[in-house]
Structure 1
Amino acid sequence: MKTSVLVVGGGLAGTSAALFLAWRGVDVTLVEKHPGSSPHPRAIGFTARTGEMLRAVGLEAGLPASRMAKGFGIRRVRCASLVGERFEETFWSPPGEVSEIEYSPSTGVGVAQDRMEPLLRDKARELGADIRMSTRMLEFAQDDDGVTAIVQGDGEPYEIRAGYLVAADGHRSPVREHLGITRSGRGYMHTSRSVLFRAPLDEYLKDGIGQFIVDGVGFLTTYGDGRWVLMLDDREYDEPELRQKILQAIGRDDLPVEIVTTGRWTISAAVADRFSQGRVFLAGDAAHTLPPSRGGFGANVGIEDAHNLAWKLAAVLNGESRPSLLDTYDAERRPVATLCHQQIFARNDGHNRDGEPEDVPLIDNNAMHYGVLYRSDAVLGAGPELPPAQLPEQWNGQPGTRAPHVWIEPGKSTLDLFQRGWVLVADHPQWEEAAQQAGVRYERIERLDVFGLSAKGASLVRPDGYVAWRSADLPDDPAAALETAFSSSSAGTR
């Protein structure tokens, strides 16, 4: 069979890639070796930035609101037990200054991974993605024109011919290993055991603390849906021992406790030394393994990998852009992963027991979520003198950063104008004429100040909602300036 893009791996990054590609009209097939999501929920707590991406594809409204958006779950305390004495509160990162600025039209998403993945899969299928669970890729080879993969489901192996392959096959990534792509970073740190259980313990969450370091036991946290996970030292435990540990962590033995499943977790940190090779692209944990952090630098970063790559693959496949546009995926996303790795170890995230903390300035989480800078050939005017991330109001519409959010009417954000194609934001008839000549959609808005523009300026926004170029004022020949910028940043074929 033939497909434009083959995605290997049906976790959050891979399923997001299938979703974003299908939404852009790309013929995409996904293969995942497991029949469904892991019974262990793993990640929980998706950022508002992830909410923005799901908002664009029509999925945000169907997700439950996150209690984490109101501070639930992100506070952590050391204690004798869940019901016992509480000692000092420990911060994963220094508390940020309270800001009255609203950075996003979206909120965080408080859904556990085992419940988020089916939502993404269902939406991807609705949009036309061919998702094949219980299907393993056995081998692959690439040539100048595409990728040939041998896969196997319940029957005999068969061949899939694809234009491109997205490897979202986890932190051990057989695809990455086959390509010989090395990784850099802290590497292996430690291994933990876990037990997932259900118990009626919501009354102990009323003060907003959702994470507990229980002296002499381990780390206890909740998924906010009646399920809890207790992280323990790495050794074998039988069920009576696990139940004893759970009761010790809770601090009472008169409640019903249902053990759901157990897990073994390898904590490591590494970033691939390149995110692509030929027609193969790495995404999610295959590209970067980042330990759990309050900043949400694991799953959320993988979803944004998929988002960044999807529009570029769509543009190349439909003939709008030259293949050189795909080179900007590594140029833009790998520095973000490296920055996240650095910031995790600059914080007191509990990982620095395995080594010295990074001696670098801490970057505010809002800057990491909404204010990372892309430097690539798909951006004009993002020089090396600029910091890797800062708050949106500090960027003020800087090319290479996510377009700023501001409400333009009730329920409609500036961000809702983007992601369906290239957009020129301005409020001047000459720019409107220039956009028509360039074949770029024109959007008139009055709040040009948040884009760092005068009343006669304009910003060119990419299909992923990032600013590619801006003209702070009106040049002598707006049409020529826009045409040059559009052709350069889009790797256009015209």
Structure 2
Amino acid sequence: MSASLFLAWRGVPHIVIEKHEGSALHPRAMGFTERTMEYFTAVGLGGQVPQVAPGTRLRRAVVESLAGHWGRETLWTPDGGAPARGDLVTPHTGAAIPQDKLEPILRARAAALGSQLLQGTELTSFEQDEDGVTAVVRSRQTGEERAIRADYLVAADGASSGIREALGIAREGVGHLRTVHSVLFRCPEADPFLECGFQQFEIEQGEVRAFLTSYGDGRWVLMRTDGQELDELQLAPFIRSCLGKDFAFDIITTGRWEMAGRVATKYSMGRVFLAGDAAHQLPPTRGGFGANTGIDDVWNLSWKLAMVIDGTSSPALLETYDAERRPIGWLRHQQTFARPDYAKWLKGPMEPQPLMGDVAMELGQLHRSAAVIGASDDLPPAAHPFDWAGQPGVRAPYLEMTTSAGSMSTLDLVGKQFTLFAEASVWIEATARVSASSNVPILAVHVGRDAQANLDEVHQRFGMTSAGACLVRPDGIVGWRSVGGVPDAEAALRTALHKLASLR
């Protein structure tokens, strides 16, 4: 649904094939990060997805039972992540919303922007050739089949992706670790325990090990890794034991999922692109490395598809999707299984990993590809945003500015088209000429004139002097910068744009 929303927002006609009629009974994902909220806000959902209060963090405690003895707090990143900083790195705080409540919001917005959503329809086969992809789909209600012809296919069909398997794309990683059984139940009486600030609970009760968490709306989920199949009669006393009190509850549904780590060795083949769990199977984490990584995938892919489909860019631009996203998928795999939550389940030793804070992983990842100019080899794969200084390949720095339209941030100015930040008029004038000659929209932000800001902070965050310029891609990633002035600003900018966008 995020892919559909982003493509529709960029004006790319598409069809979503979804075999289910609606959301699953099991809410699944719950935490959506600050970066994801930056994307959702950009496409018009800022006020529709409630964000958590500033300073809120996901906390987990080891307990005998919810109503019983509480022991220690456990951390996701042992050092607690990056040290606290006084300044903000983003105006967003993330969202704690169950997936089954988020999906209708995404559907409605995507449909309003022109998405064609075919629910209750499944893909039965596909073939690709030099000119496009032919997909055969079938209505699950009527059995009627029809063929759809498209330029490209985005495979967001889950960890067991039939499309990935049909392409013969292998995966690597820690593989299968264990099967987790879960039971979703409604128990409003247990909700007051959330007022203490903890949302997740590791149950340690004799030989029993379980995991309990809430969706914040009276629904709780209890997960077991003992491998036993329990019927509803057996589940009831187990739930009651983990709650630690004779609360009333109603079982909604049960499920199972595979705790595993696998990353595809290719994120694309021909005209087919893998996204989400089809590309990287990661277990749920306190850093949101699963669902949010998939949303990040399609944000990266959507602007590239838009520019290729409208004829502005050559298909070479699409090759940068794999180059940028696969290393990030692998980094998140390694960071997931280096953390205590999952390191304890590994079947063998893993190469030691320097643990990176959640803020670095979410807002400070480095992208390398032909669509990034000047990402030096000595840069780390991720770092806290304040440890970056506008280097090509990282997210554009967040700064508050004042314009004729009022107060806005750099994040309000990027994300739809190419955006150039500069103080020197020569860059602003060059941008207008390059945009007109290439027919590529570029927003020129004249810092200090059209957009007022603390110039010392601009220089520090963007890593450039008053004579320099920074060109940000349509996904908010710095694509190129000139630290200082150059003899011919127009030629430098034109060369950079042609390379970043693989212009025809």
* Mapped contact 1:186–1:270 kept (Cα < 8 A): yes
TM-score of the superposed pair, with normalisation by structure 2: 0.92
Q: Which residue of structure 1 lines up, in the alignment, with residue 265 of structure 2? A: 273
User: Please, which runs of 5 or more residues in structure 1 have no aligned partner?
Assistant: 1-14
* Mapped contact 1:217–1:248 kept (Cα < 8 A): no
Q: Which residue of structure 2 lines up, in the alignment, with residue 214 of structure 1? A: 203
Deviates more, 1:279-288 or 1:238-247: 238-247
Matched, 1:90 2:74: yes
Q: Distance in 2 between matches of 1:279 and 1:168?
A: 14
Q: After TM superposition, give the deviation of residue 486 of structure 1 in Å.
A: 0.7
Q: Which residue of structure 1 lines up, in the alignment, with residue 125 of structure 2? A: 139
Q: Distance in 1 between matches of 2:117 and 2:351?
A: 41
Q: After TM superposition, give the deviation of residue 160 of structure 1 in Å.
A: 0.2
Q: Which amino acid aligns with 2:462?
A: F
Q: Where does 1:94-105 land on structure 2 (aligned, <5 Å)?
A: 94=78, 95-96=80-81, 97-105=83-91
- The residue matched to 1:220 in structure 2 has which SS? strand
Q: Which residue of structure 2 lines up, in the alignment, with residue 241 of structure 1? A: 234
* Mapped contact 1:196–1:229 kept (Cα < 8 A): yes
1:282 to 274, 278, 295: 274
Matched, 1:167 2:155: yes
Q: Which amino acid aligns with 1:110?
A: A
Q: Which residue of structure 1 lines up, in the alignment, with residue 398 of structure 2? A: 405
Matched, 1:415 2:411: yes
Matched, 1:435 2:435: no
Q: Where does 1:285-300 land on structure 2 (aligned, <5 Å)?
A: 285-300=277-292
Q: Which residue of structure 2 lines up, in the alignment, with residue 8 of structure 1? A: none
Q: After TM superposition, give the deviation of residue 474 of structure 1 in Å.
A: 1.1
Q: Distance in 2 between matches of 1:379 and 1:57?
A: 24
- Note the alpha carbon deviations across 1:147-169, whole angstroms, 9 max, x for none: 00000113310000000000000
Q: Which amino acid aligns with 2:477?
A: Y
Deviates more, 1:169-178 or 1:104-113: 104-113
2:59 to 75, 86, 92: 75
Give the length in aligned residue pairs.
476
Q: After TM superposition, give the deviation of residue 308 of structure 1 in Å.
A: 0.3
Q: Which amino acid aligns with 2:284?
A: P
Q: After TM superposition, give the deviation of residue 481 of structure 1 in Å.
A: 0.6
Q: Which residue of structure 1 lines up, in the alignment, with residue 438 of structure 2? A: none
Q: Distance in 2 between matches of 1:452 and 1:191?
A: 47
- After superposition, the CA RMSD in angstroms is 1.3
Q: Which residue of structure 2 lines up, in the alignment, with residue 346 of structure 1? A: 338
The share of aligned pairs that are identical, in percent, is 49
Matched, 1:478 2:489: yes
- State the 4+ residue runs in structure 1 displaced beyond 6 angstroms: none
* Mapped contact 1:375–1:383 kept (Cα < 8 A): no
- Note the alpha carbon deviations across 1:103-126, whole angstroms, 9 max, x for none: 112220111111111111111111
Q: Which amino acid aligns with 1:160?
A: I
Q: Which residue of structure 1 lines up, in the alignment, with residue 471 of structure 2? A: 460
Q: Which residue of structure 2 lines up, in the alignment, with residue 425 of structure 1? A: 421
Matched, 1:203 2:192: yes
Q: Which residue of structure 2 lines up, in the alignment, with residue 382 of structure 1? A: 375
Q: Distance in 2 between matches of 1:66 and 1:242?
A: 32
* Mapped contact 1:184–1:272 kept (Cα < 8 A): yes
* Mapped contact 2:263–2:330 kept (Cα < 8 A): yes
- Note the alpha carbon deviations across 1:151-202, whole angstroms, 9 max, x for none: 0113310000000000000000000000000000001110011111111212
- The residue matched to 1:30 in structure 2 has which SS? strand
- The residue matched to 2:295 in structure 1 has which SS? helix
Q: Where does 1:49-60 land on structure 2 (aligned, <5 Å)?
A: 49-60=35-46
Q: Which amino acid aligns with 1:71?
A: T
Q: After TM superposition, give the deviation of residue 242 of structure 1 in Å.
A: 1.0
- Note the alpha carbon deviations across 1:443-468, whole angstroms, 9 max, x for none: 12244322111111100010001110
User: Please, which runs of 5 or more residues in structure 2 have no aligned partner?
Assistant: 436-441, 449-454
* Mapped contact 2:425–2:446 kept (Cα < 8 A): no
Q: Distance in 1 between matches of 2:177 and 2:308?
A: 40
Q: After TM superposition, give the deviation of residue 411 of structure 1 in Å.
A: 5.2
- The residue matched to 1:384 in structure 2 has which SS? coil
Q: Distance in 2 between matches of 1:332 and 1:64?
A: 30
